Structure 1
Amino acid sequence: MKKVFFLLVLALLASACSEPIKKNEDVSSSTEEISKATSSKVYYEIADTTDFTGSMTVEMNFVLNSYPSSWAFLITKMTSDFNNEFNIRIKNDEIANWFFGTGKTAVIMNWRPKTITLNKPTQLIAVRDFDKGILSVFINGKAVATKNIDKKIKPLRTYSTIKIFGSEKNSIDGSLSSLQIWKRALSKDEIKNISTAKSDNKVGSWDFTKQINNEIVELSGKDLIIKQKNRK
């Protein structure tokens, strides 16, 4: 009888000791998951409604850690595919778009994200030249896609903000270091050596490594602050 009682006491003690360990493990796992979720919910926004319905150039420097599994924006100014001043987006390792919408249709150029080496610094330049009727994407100075477009077709003005490296509904797994935007098509020489690009019709330049209170100030002093946002 004493032996049975002793065994019951040991069983109860073992149960009491094991329970906190299980709880601690659960809390640790849960905290890690929350941390990952929080870090994936960040994107950037310029609360500016500048007209981007003409020729333009976007230059971005970033590191992509992994390809998305559904559409995610590198940068966009749109309310829908058709109501779209410009959009650079990636769907997976096979499909990406540089495109705009006219209000009735979307003018889309496809390019392959595999031209981006994961976990390595990447420079992307996207050019829309209505004078020549061309859409182009360059990765690290090399043209990876070009498409002829109708010079007379223009994007629909949306008055929307500019979303960068994701949006309320999607995110990019990576880090963005810099962004430059021009309201003109850069020349071939400027694309080859971006540091020589003239400031004519330049919207702004931003260094994302210099954030203060989740804000990135435009480098030339323009009132175009980029704010870090959390996804919903």
Structure 2
Amino acid sequence: MKIILLMIPLLVTTLGSLEIDYEERIPYIQKNNGSIKGLVATPALNALTRSGIEYELKEKPSKRHLHEIKSNQKLICALGWFKTSQRETFAKFSKVLYQDQPMGIVIRQQEKPIFENKKLEYILKIPKRLLTKASYSYGNLVDNKIKEYKTRTTEVYTDNQKMLELIMKKRADFMFMAYEEASVLLEQSKYESLEFIPVHDMPQGNKRYMMCSQKVDDEILKIINQYIE
């Protein structure tokens, strides 16, 4: 094992440093004095630092993460992605960096009676419009149910804060969001007309990983995984 530990940093150096892509998304990833921190970022960077593997942080939009990992042209990993069966066809994944609490929905407060204490099936079948982010997964369960029930959706290429504004403007009626993220964003006074509510039968929250291109050697991931706590 000592031999492998010595060879891995050399392998990365020979091929180029490992690119670590991120998109700021509080509380998972937050810029911090030239680096990043958060529920996902902190365990990831701690593992990379302890592994001795050379890496370079790059801030990019999430759709770029997906495109560059799919293209498999370089050593690249992106932080905080969900593992899905479709993504496993073109990417490799680390150990779990963080597991969310059960996901809920964000709605306009005046529509709370429509959504409160309801099951996922009911919410996805009612004639209300769901706001989703393009190229984003809400986990296998929710993704599959949206397709199964043919839920009316509006798909956008923007971040959660702008998506919340679209809910306020009635461009859509609800959106899925992790409790951790909603609890931070909805503290802002500009979102006082919105509310996060749990979904009655939502299972344990999604697991977040480091998603890497196939070009990243299995031994590199194995070493990083040893230091993920």
Q: What's the TM-score once normalised by structure 1's chain length?
A: 0.27
Larger RCO: 1 or 2 (CA < 8 Å, sep 6+): 2
Structure with a larger share of its residues in helix: 2
Structure with a larger share of its residues in strand: 1
Question: Greater Rg, structure 1 or structure 2?
Answer: 1
